[in-house]
Amino acid sequence: MSSDANIPAPALPPLAPGTLYLVATPIGNMEDITLRAIRTLRECDLVAAEDTRRTGHLLRHFDINRRMVSCFAHNERRRSEEILRLLQSGGKVALVSDAGTPGISDPGARLVRGAIDAGLRVESVPGPCALVAGLVASGLPTDEFHFVGFLPNKSGQRARELDRLLALPGTLVLYESPYRVEKLLGELVVKAPARQVVLAREMSKRHEEYLRGLPAELARVWSERPRKGEFVVMIDGGDGLAAEVPPAPAEQEPA
């Protein structure tokens, strides 16, 4: 009698020449990288990294030796031209950000647009994404949400943008630094005092935690929290569904 255990696994297709691979990398926990991401990084001709030091640590962790170049906000235009030339000659390039999915509040959009305009193949290697990880564990509605990355730094622009976003239906998802969370909570105390807010910090890491409550409640709690780790902030769209979500322990550590 034959056994499925004796059937060889199908051979994986090689990377396609002239393809830009958008490779998602862990947002904290190294175990979150996918097998496909590891294989792509091993088999590509070049890794274009937002920060070669951080990506170098990732590659060494998985014993991957590949040539790297930097591709960040201030050199993306120039670097894109170089990468496109390599792709046009049949090269295979993996684009990665410091953490998560490249192009989501990180460099990459210009390079992707350039590759598409040049008739080149762009392929996503999906994996970790902070906004998705935070949203699905928030307890807030996920059937409609709006992601906006980081709010503007200037107070006037920030206030106008926040007013516009709070008028949208669905859950609002944004990123924030630990140094501006207090400011954001103060703004929400004034502009949306009755909306449920969830702060997700250190996701996938040892001290991962979700803080849930009204803006004024979280402002009081925040004064006692460590000021480190970027945040995913989720704000109820005001439809009342979030009010039914029971509070969770402030800190959740993996077993």
- Over residues 116-132, the pLDDT tens digits come to 999 999 999 999 999 99
What's the pLDDT at 117?
Answer: 97
pLDDT digits (tens, 9 = 90+) for 192-203: 999 999 999 989
What's the pLDDT at 244?
Answer: 43
What's the pLDDT at 92?
Answer: 98
pLDDT at 227 over 90: no
Residue 122 in contact with residue 20, Cβ under 8 Å? yes
State the sign of the Cα–Cα–Cα–Cα dihedral 213, 216, 217, 221.
positive
State the pLDDT confidence band at 5, using cuts at 50, 70 and 90.
low
Task: Please name which of 159, 160, 162, 172 lies closest in space to residue 236, comparing C-alpha atoms.
Answer: 172
CATH code assigned to 130-244:
3.30.950.10
Domain boundaries, the chain: 4-125, 130-244
What's the pLDDT at 76?
Answer: 86
pLDDT at 170 over 50: yes
pLDDT above 90 covers what percent of the chain? 75
User: Across the chain, what does the average pLDDT equal?
Assistant: 89
Report, as an integer, the average pLDDT of 125-151. 96
Rg (CA), the chain: 21
What's the pLDDT at 6?
Answer: 67
Domain 4-125 has CATH 3.40.1010.10: yes
Is residue 178 classed exposed, middle or buried when 0-12, 13-18 and 19+ CB atoms within 10 A define those classes?
middle
Report, as an integer, the average pLDDT of 42-48. 98
